[in-house]
Amino acid sequence: MTISFADPSALTHDQLEEGTDFAPRFDAAGLVTVVTIEAGSNEVLMLAHMNAEALALTIDTGIAHYWSRSRGKLWKKGETSGELQEVVELRTDCDQDAIVITVKQTGRGAACHTGRKSCFYRRVSLVDGAVTLEDTGLPKLFDPKDVY
């Protein structure tokens, strides 16, 4: 199946924000920001990016695909680790320049390459005038050295 998207520049403001055409507004690098949350708990698992190919594959296969900016290539989430993300719902924001994807996290339940459930396992704290990171205690569900 070939998935295509409407051209956002061909839509009026009202069509973009109130219409039924899915017209993702990719940035200058051809990417759209994606927030991934876990179905059921609504916990934020990760933030990533998709290009048109990754978005089309995600819709077509029902498995989350992203664009890895650090590796410069398409990335099927969990292909190496077994931590696949089954799509439950995909939403776009009002002006279609950001996506929220709700997933069922498979495998051991780790979305983060560090082996944790979520990539957001540290909180920012202000201690004696210094900004520091504090571990929230989210346990590792696997050892990345054994997986990657």
8-114 belongs to CATH 3.10.20.810: yes
- What gap in Å lies between CA 1 and CA 38, rounded to an integer? 27
Q: Are 76 and 54 in contact (CB under 8 A)?
A: no
Domain locations in the chain? 8-114
Angle made by CA atoms 135, 141, 142, in degrees to the nearest 5: 110
Segments of the chain with pLDDT less than 70: none
pLDDT at 32: 98
Element (DSSP H or E) covering residue 55: helix 52-61
Annotated binding site for Zn(2+): 94, 112, 119
* pTM for the whole structure: 0.93
pLDDT at 2: 86
Of 41, 21, 16, 37, the residue nearest 97 (C-alpha): 16
- DSSP letter string over 13-30? HHHHHHSS-------TTS
Annotated binding site for Mg(2+): 93, 95, 97
Annotated binding site: 93-95, 97, 112, 119
Of 111, 121, 93, the residue nearest 23 (C-alpha): 93
Of 93, 95, 105, the residue nearest 36 (C-alpha): 105
In this prediction, what percent of the chain has a pLDDT beyond 70? 99
